[in-house]
Amino acid sequence: MNGEQRFCDFLKAHIGLDVGSVGAPVVARAVAQRVASGVAADNDGYWELLQQSKQEQVALIDAVIVPETWFFRYPESFAALVRLARPRLERIAGARPLRILSLPCATGEEPYSIAMALLDAGIAAPLFRIDALDVSQRVIERAQLGLYGKNSFRGEDLAYRARHFANRDDGYLLHQAVRDQVRFRCGNLLQHGLLAEEAPYDLLFCRNLLIYFDQATQEQVLEVLKRLTRLDGVLFIGPAEASLFSRLGMQSLGIPQAFAFQHPSEPTNPTPTATLRPPPAAAPTAQRMPRPVPAPRRAPRPAPPTPPNAPTAAPPDDELRTVAGLADQGRLSEARQRCEQLLRAQGPSADLFYWLGLLSDAGGQAREAQDYYRKALYLQPQHREALSHLATLLAARGDLAGARRLQERANRGVNGDG
């Protein structure tokens, strides 16, 4: 076993991480950082320490997984949350609080956004309770402080910041009334009996996590999420995970851009969803779906990328032209190497993941292509080209419903209403 692979295997065993989703060099850098911090003399010494120290295990996980989050990310899901919460509270009729879970909660932006959304909707604090879970004690401690910098506030509508935060020299401090609505705890989704002492939740947010797992772990985690959610409960997920949930039997509520799912065969609540569910669309046909990537020597150049929803490393246009030129010449291996070099140098990029998807597609590696398109959509949910090509792959596998949803998202971007 080589020196790096054992650390990759450790992360797979402990948190289910598919190292291919972040890249082995990321793990190698994290190990090097921990060794350089003085906790061990070399990689062998660090490996021995890792077997013995729970604290160091968490430190390595923290070094590998850098949470990227901000307040009210995917705002449509928070609007849907409020509309789903009202009739549910009417049914509960004060017998218990509405129960909500956010995991992984990272530094707290998501669970606090849930609290602010409900409070701003006039739902009184005693009527709901939010649990927030993360594998990292360090990020939980940061979340409990409630102090945030400018990077946690993105988008044009920041009115909530004036309502719920105090402006300080070192950042923005969340009001105690919001912080009191969230109970943080440390835990691992792969931990046996996770939250077994808790009653199932009405609403559960687990977004942009499953894309880091291999298929077997994805299926295992989904079973845990289903156990943690009431049979009439709702799961909010990330946009790149929607087709995965459909394939594994979950049912979409059909709320545009909310990525909300429920247990199979459960009736939707007619009060909130009847007006939210879009009219049914015809299943995609081979004529209406985008064509697959052509033969390797003519891999297509991407159209100019749509503006990103979140800041990501954007490679210069001339670098993308270099990748396109290599692909046009049939030099797919060199094009892939260039993409990987840019990712190592500049960090995650929706356009580079999209190009890696195209190159995998051209080489007949459909599953690998699908994974890269999903990574592109995690960084840029409305990346039109990634949406269209992923839709093609799903249609080829027979997942026409998933393909249709992706193509509709791509079309919304074209029409300017996405």
Average pLDDT along the chain? 80
Residue 114 has pLDDT above 90, yes or no: yes
User: What is the arithmetic mean of pLDDT over 101-110?
Assistant: 94
Please state which CATH class domain 296-415 belongs to. mainly alpha
Q: Name the CATH code of domain 75-273 (choices 3.50.50.60, 3.30.70.2190, 3.30.160.270, 3.40.50.150).
A: 3.40.50.150
Please, what is the angle between helix 317-328 and helix 332-346, to 10°? 160
The model's pTM is 0.61
Dig out the tokens for 158 from the structure. 């920041």
On the question of a common fold for 75-273 and 296-415, the answer reads no
More confident call, 18 vs 134 = 134
User: What is the arithmetic mean of pLDDT over 198-204?
Assistant: 96
Return the SS3 of 375: helix
Neighbouring C-alpha atoms within 13 Å toward the C-beta of 101: 28
Dig out the tokens for 408 from the structure. 């509709």
- Nearest CA to 331 among 368, 299, 303, 367? 299
Report the pLDDT value the prediction gives residue 52, as an integer from 0 to 100: 85
Report the pLDDT value the prediction gives residue 67, as an integer from 0 to 100: 62
Quick check: 129 and 183 in contact, CB under 8 A?
yes
H or E element at residue 162: helix 159-164
319-355: pLDDT as tens digits: 887 887 676 556 778 889 999 999 988 888 888 998 9
124-182: pLDDT as tens digits: 999 999 999 998 888 899 999 999 999 899 888 899 999 999 999 999 999 999 999 99
**Where along the chain do its domains lie?**
5-64, 75-273, 296-415
Beta strands in 371-414 (DSSP E): none
H or E element at residue 168: strand 165-168
